[in-house]
Each structure stands twice: as structure tokens, then as C-alpha cells.
Structure 1
Amino acid sequence: MDHAPAPLRLSEQLCEKIEEQIVTGALRPGARLDEQELAAEFGVSRTPIREALIQLASAGLVDTRPRRGAVVAEIEPHRLCEMFDVMAELEAMCARLAARRITEDEIVGLRAAHQACEAARDADNPDAYYWLNEQFHRHIYMASHNGFLAEQAISLHRRLRPYRRLQLRVRNRMKVSYSEHQSIVDAIVAGDGERAAERIRGHIQVQGERFTDLVASVRQLAAQPVQ
């Protein structure tokens, strides 16, 4: 039986392309998203563009404002901190459950995802590291064997994509991140749920110097001209 995933609808494909531009900073916070301009850029009608923007708005990546239409969402630093706090607790729950429920095949997959991050770290490639890092975290979500929890973690992870990506551009953050990943893997494989939860919580939380670095990065991005 063929279990290949169904092809994405046009609006879903466009949603992913626009999201990629937001995540990479090509579309910065506050940038106006003109339906006609986007339709011309992607060679489509305005209808699937409008549907894609609705999807992005539901994910929190786009705001709809009076007289301005759709714009890339902006988040205040204190709000970001709150969101990272929630993300840290969701991932801690995933890691705690994964330490109890992960299968041998899933351990192999988690280790492979961790090792894949190593090459990007060594190449000092934060963009490649980011996408591999996302796969690493998804392995942990899936290993929790709690579908609802995984859905919530994936949803918030997606909302925080631009800011998690910014963090990796801070000096030495990739090296530190990879080292933290190792301690998370070790705890999960050892079946130590509390240690796994503690390690991943510390990995995600944005406090102290990391919060200062993130705020500085967000302000630098926001200060650049929008399209």
C-alpha cells in the first residue's frame, strides 16, 4: 500500500514559501504583505495567496491591521520571553516522556539527527544548523508518544522559528547548543526523565545574557528597512 503523503495544496506551498522568507529575515517584522505583489512574485492568482496569509495568521506569523492589511508579526521582547518559557515547559514534558517511551529505532533516529547537526556546527553554518536542529527537536516530540503534546510543541516551535534562528547567530551559540543536545540525548537514552527535562528546559529558556542577546538581535532586525 502506498503511504506517500498527499501533495500540498497550492496555498500550503505558498504558505511554506512565505514562511521561509519570514524565517530567513527576507520579510522582516512589520513588512507589509501585499496580495497583488506576492501573486506576481509567485506567478499565481490572489486567491491562494490570501489563503496562505490566513494560514500564516493562524500560526501567529502574520498580523492583519486596519488600513495596512497583512504584515509580518512583531513581538515585544517580554512577550517573546513568555513564549520561550512555555516552549521550554512543553519540550521538558516531551523529553520526560521520551526518556520513558522512546523505542530503539527512535534512539537511532535521535542520535542520527544529533550527529547531522555536528557537520553544520563545524562548518559554522547557522542556517543549515537551524533546520537540522529543528529535526532533532521533532524526534524528541515524536518519541514522547503523545500526539497532542507533539502537536502543541510543533505549533509553538513554528511560531518561534524566526527568533530561534536568530539565536544561532550569536557568537558560539551553535557550539553550546550542540553540547546541550548531547546532554539531552544522554539523559533520554539513559531513561532519566527528570534530567532530560531539566537539560532541555535549560536549552530552551531565554534568560540572563541569552535574553539580552536575543533582544539585541531582534532590535537590529527591526531597525532594518522593511519591504
Structure 2
Amino acid sequence: MRVALFATCLADAMFPHAARATVTLLERLGHDVAFPAAQTCCGQMHINTGYRRQARNLVRHHTDVFEAYDAIVAPSGSCVGSVRHQHTAIARDAGDQRLAARAAQLATRTWELSEFLIDVLGVEDVGAHFPHRVTYHPTCHSLRMLRVGDKPLRLLRAVRGIDLVELPAAEQCCGFGGTFALKNADTSAAMLADKTGHILATGAAVVTAGDASCLMHIGGGLSRLESGVRPLHLAEILAATDRSRP
């Protein structure tokens, strides 16, 4: 299987450890992973803020870059959600039916990490070791758009040494929502306060999720509280072994 890493622009610019951990994990499971160097933004933020014409060019570029691969894996439910649920519509609305068909086909081969591990590879125990108390935040796009369900939790439960504790009101949004946090700052801050309060109530040393964007938001709130709780991407926990220090 020809697997490509769709790193996402946020991971590339700010959270490269999540992208590297995804490659480490997949290679440990026996897969060769390519990193197409020409990849750029998938266009989600353009689409969500009304720049649909500019997004169409990004959809075409994304399709050109990844079309040759059997599977495209990303450490981001948000960006995979855009590829699956927005790309085809953007091309179709522009009257480009050929691009729409190509984007629709690519969408069927694009996977969020936990989906790929469980639904495609049929793996739950990835050989990870992470002896820390951890709580899991299910991000909105992974939960509501991709419907990954309990797949991340099934992977975490199989990690050796982990003390996995349930997050109260886990399905509540953290308040980030991309540009929502900018356009509705007060509401976003209130939602973040609720989320960080629930995280602190667990006594966890680490909060994990499948989207670096949400972890950035949550991590900022926890840092300002000087809580000592560390945000860590799901891929980094799954890539950890008793010989690694994630």
C-alpha cells in the first residue's frame, strides 16, 4: 500500500512532532510512508471564511499532489473532514465536474489516523508504552463530521502503562473552532474555561486529542493557568515506546 502523510499546514508550521509521530507509528507497523513535498494547505480556512474561488485552486493542487497514493493519512480530523466533505462541493459549485469526480475519489482514500489504524489496518494495539495519567478530548470535527466514535479511546486503552481517565463533559466543544475563536472571543474563552476546568478535575498529567488546533487552544488555556498539564497529540502517545521520550 502506497501511504502518504498529509501533514496539514498547522502541524507543518507549529506541531511537527505530531506529523513525525504519525510516520514513526506507521513505519513501525510495517508501512512505507511518503511525504509529498509539494503539499500545501487543504483550503479549509479559505472555505470557512468565504474565499471559495481561492479554495478551488487549493483543492485542485491537493488532488494533484495526493492522487497517486493508495491511502492518505493525516493527524487531523479537521483537515480530513474538509477533504471529505468540502472539496467535492467546491469543485462542483465551480462547474468543474472533472475535478469534483477526482476529489470525490480521493476523499474515499483519505483517513484520520485513528480511522486508518482501526478501519483500514485492523489494529488496536500498536505496541505503545506511555506510563502517565491521560485524558482524551474528542474534537468536534472528528466526533461530529468524521464520526470516529471511540476509535481513539480503543487505541489508548491498548497502550501499556497508561492511566486513562474519563474527561467530564468530553463531547463539549473546547471553543476553538478556527476563526470562531477570533470572531467570538468571549464565548470561546468561556467554553475554554469549562474545558480546562474539566481537564484539571481528572488529575491527568496529559490531555490528548486528534487535532493539533484544539490542543493548541486547550494548551494555551492550561498554560495561562500554570496547571502543568501537557497537551500531546494522539499520534505522539501511540508512537511512544518504553525506549522513547515523547
TM-score normalized by structure 1? 0.29
Q: Which has the higher strand share?
A: 2
Q: Which has the higher helix share?
A: 1
TM-score normalized by structure 2? 0.27
Larger Rg: 1
Higher RCO (Cα < 8 Å, 6 or more apart): 1
